Structure 1
Amino acid sequence: MEETFISSKPCAKEEEIIDLNQITLRSFNLSDLDDVMVWQTDEKVAKFWGEPYTSKDQGINFIENIESEYLLQCKAICHNDHVIGCIKLFSSSLHDKSRYKCAEIGYVLASKYWGKGIATCAVKQMVMVTFAFSEFSYLERLEALVDVDNVGSQRVLEKVGFQKEGVLRKYVFFKGKSRDMIMFSLLSTDIQL
């Protein structure tokens, strides 16, 4: 089934039509540096992701170490083979054996591509099609923590089938202040593979 999303948001110029069949996940390469720097230097992205990069050395370090930083998977989100974001699947089970069957999912997307269905498409690929419950068949639960102000990301998770479990008050200290986070989860029994 071919999915194409056309944003209904008003815009001064014609909105780019994105064919979601062209959204792929793959490993990062050093040749992706310029693409990575676009979203890693974007202040809008940094609001929920971290501090924006100020040098290409930071981008190189990200690309060279991203795979080893996460225990399960980290993939580039690509449109026509250009990296427009990243999606990661990680687990704290090395430090907490009671959480062996649980992993966390996180993602980031260049702001130019927000509101086009791309993050939803990438999360679906990571969760249902390619990796999470098939490649890591021991997993029973995926979690996602989302800032209470990040409404777009909350919608992404709901569209994929994650359940909102509740608000974790003052759960993280980020950018100089304590932030409330919303816990979402998806169980292996919630979806049909």
Structure 2
Amino acid sequence: MIPFAKRLTVLETERLRLQPLIEADAADIFPLMGDPEVMAFLDMPQTDEPDLVAELVRAQVAAMGQGKAVYWTIRTLDGADFVGCCELADIDRWHKRAEIGFMLGRGSWGSGYGHEAMQAVVAYAAAGGLRRLIATIHLGNRRSETILEKLGFKEEGLLRGHVLREGERRDCQVFGLLL
């Protein structure tokens, strides 16, 4: 298996370009993380602190450099408009598994961009030798659940009280896909 850190390639689909995350992308990600509807089913609440978003992006770029994850921005091919971001994280080469995730701006909801981008990520993971992917979503996140089901993921279980967000414990669903 080729180490993912040495294969940080741009992925292209019919309508999208997934580019490896760089620190400057924090400026595009900040508005998404400031939107309460976008952040409703994520592990942290919306934020109005650009420095916090910049620090999160720096940490993700560092994880990519260590080969622990790959993070991409999602942009349209035609106008290079920022759509969102996605990831292949917690890469475990020994067990040939990783976790996927994605976040799209509200203006892209219902466009099929999430499914299209994640098809490319799943294909990238398989080509890199991974044989199992998981996704963990907050209970009630129907948009993400629909995308995962279209990709062939199966619900594998419920993690009760898995996330602590704003003093409240939230349940999460785990989905898995064998490649």
TM range (shorter): 0.7 to 0.9
Aligned to 1:74: 71
- Label 1:59 to 1:181 Cα distance change in 2 as closer, same or farther (>3 A): closer
Q: Does 1:104 align with 2:99?
A: yes
How many residue pairs get matched?
161
What is the TM-score when the length of structure 1 is the normalising length?
A: 0.74
Q: Does 1:156 align with 2:151?
A: no
Q: Does 1:41 align with 2:41?
A: no
Choose from 159, 163, 175 the match for 1:168: 159
Which portions of structure 1, spanning 4 or more consecutive aligned residues, are displaced by more than 4 angstroms?
none
Distance 2:175 2:133 in 1: 8
Contact kept, 8 Å, 1:32 with 1:83, in 2: the verdict is no
Contact kept, 8 Å, 1:39 with 1:84, in 2: the verdict is no
Distance 1:167 1:124 in 2: 24
The C-alpha deviation readout for 1:162-190, integer Å capped at 9, x for no partner, is 111232222332332222211111101xx
Distance 1:172 1:63 in 2: 21
Distance 1:29 1:76 in 2: 9
Cα displacement (A) at 1:33: 4.1
Partner of 2:140, secondary structure, is: coil
Cα displacement (A) at 1:31: 4.5
Distance 2:23 2:63 in 1: 16
Contact kept, 8 Å, 2:23 with 2:61, in 1: the verdict is no
The share of aligned pairs that are identical, in percent, is 28
Distance 2:138 2:115 in 1: 17
Q: Does 1:146 align with 2:137?
A: yes
What is the root-mean-square deviation in Å for CA atoms of aligned residues? 2.2
Partner of 1:25, secondary structure, is: strand
Aligned to 2:50: 56
Distance 1:67 1:30 in 2: 7
- Label 1:180 to 1:55 Cα distance change in 2 as closer, same or farther (>3 A): closer
| Unpaired segments ≥5 residues, structure 1 | 1-19, 189-193
Larger Rg: 1
Of 142-151 and 84-93, deviating more is: 84-93
